[in-house]
């Protein structure tokens, strides 16, 4: 039975998810909360191996359905091996990407259809949806220019897609916002990291006031 809180962070390339996650994790630790940060695809050895198959720049012939199935397989293993045990221990789990990535990238941008991609993911996650999803909204122009300036980030197969693909990804996320207005919150990630962090913190504190209420106030 789930006792912790499950938050996912979503967005297109260069939205600033990693920076945000690091800051959120530090904030939780400072407040004495037990937090697990992780990412998809990957996060555990089996899923990291699937990740390297999916993102390998040499795999240009990968079929869109194969890609969707591999993401779902990596998701399943990561969920049962890492996320569920942490939630059962009452931890705050922050995951960089989850099922919405598959719906936006494979379902909408690749054109497989969100319903079809949802079906295989439903099988993979068995109803375990995030309590909150933060969607970091940036234009592909901003996102891709941030990536090209970040020397340490390795370019992967999906980064090599055309601009129109990244625009479709964003469109997909906007459709998801309409579909799940309770769960997904849009954050303007065109703003600087400081503003983004404060906006996200506000959302989290409002949603999970009870979680923070146990803080000892001196
Ligand atoms: P990554 O290097 O982690 O990129 P980012 O920092 O943008 O998260 O690569 C993950 C890539 O995989 C990214 O381009 C998004 C894509 N992806 C999907 O297409 N579907 C999915 O279900 C997931 C989890 C990721």
Read off the CATH number of the domain in which 76 is found: 3.40.50.300
CB 35 within 8 A of CB 28: yes
Residue 28's pLDDT band, with cuts at 50, 70 and 90, is very high
Q: Kindly state if the Cβ of 42 falls inside 6 Å of ligand 1.
A: no
Residue 78 has pLDDT above 60, yes or no: yes
Residue 212, in any domain of the structure: no
Q: Is 147 within a domain?
A: yes
Residue 216 lies in a domain: no
What's the pLDDT at 189?
Answer: 98
- Examine the pLDDT at 215 and tell me if it is beyond 60: no
Other beta carbons within 10 angstroms of residue 183's beta carbon come to 16
Phi first, then psi: what are they for 62, rounded to 5°?
-60, 130
**Assigned domain for 218 exists:** no
Cα separation, 189 vs 50, whole angstroms: 29
Give the pLDDT of residue 166.
Answer: 95
- Locate 93 and state its tokens: 């789990």
Is residue 73 within 8 A of residue 46, CB to CB? The reply is no
Is residue 8 within 6 Å of ligand 1 at its C-beta?
Answer: no
Q: Is 97 in the pocket of ligand 1 (CB under 6 A)?
A: yes
Write out pLDDT tens, residues 88-97.
999 999 999 9
Does this model's pTM top 0.85? My answer is yes
Number of domains in the chain: 1
Distance 2 CA to ligand 1 centre (A): 26
- The sign of the dihedral angle between the CA atoms of 203, 175, 158, 45 is positive
CA angle at 197 for the pair 71 and 195, rounded to the nearest 5°:
125
Nearest C-alpha to atom 4 of ligand 1 is from which residue?
13
Span 120-170, pLDDT tens digits: 999 999 999 999 999 999 999 999 999 888 767 777 777 677 889 999 999
Quickly count: other Cβ atoms within 10 Å of residue 29's Cβ.
Answer: 11
The range of the structural domain enclosing residue 92 comes to 5-207
């Amino acid at each position: 039975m789930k006792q912790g809180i499950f938050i996912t962070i979503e967005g297109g390339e260069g939205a600033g998810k990693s920076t945000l996650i690091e800051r959120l994790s530090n904030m939780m630790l400072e407040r004495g909360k037990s937090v697990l940060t992780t990412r998809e695809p990957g996060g555990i050895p089996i899923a990291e191996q699937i990740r390297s198959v999916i993102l390998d720049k040499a795999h240009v012939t990968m079929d869109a359905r194969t890609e969707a199935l591999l993401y779902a397989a990596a998701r399943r293993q990561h969920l049962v091996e890492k996320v569920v045990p942490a939630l059962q221990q009452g931890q705050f789990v922050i995951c960089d990407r989850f099922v919405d990535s598959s719906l936006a990238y494979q379902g909408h941008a690749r054109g497989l259809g969100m319903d079809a991609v949802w079906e295989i993911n439903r099988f993979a996650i068995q109803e375990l949806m995030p309590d909150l999803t933060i969607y970091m909204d940036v234009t592909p122009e901003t996102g891709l220019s941030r990536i090209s300036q970040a020397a340490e980030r390795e370019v992967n197969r999906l980064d090599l897609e055309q601009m129109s693909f990244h625009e479709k990804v964003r469109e997909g996320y906007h459709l998801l916002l309409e579909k799940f207005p309770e769960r997904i919150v849009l954050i303007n990630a065109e703003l600087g990291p400081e503003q983004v962090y404060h906006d996200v913190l506000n959302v989290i504190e409002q949603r999970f006031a009870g979680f923070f209420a146990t803080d000892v106030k001196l």
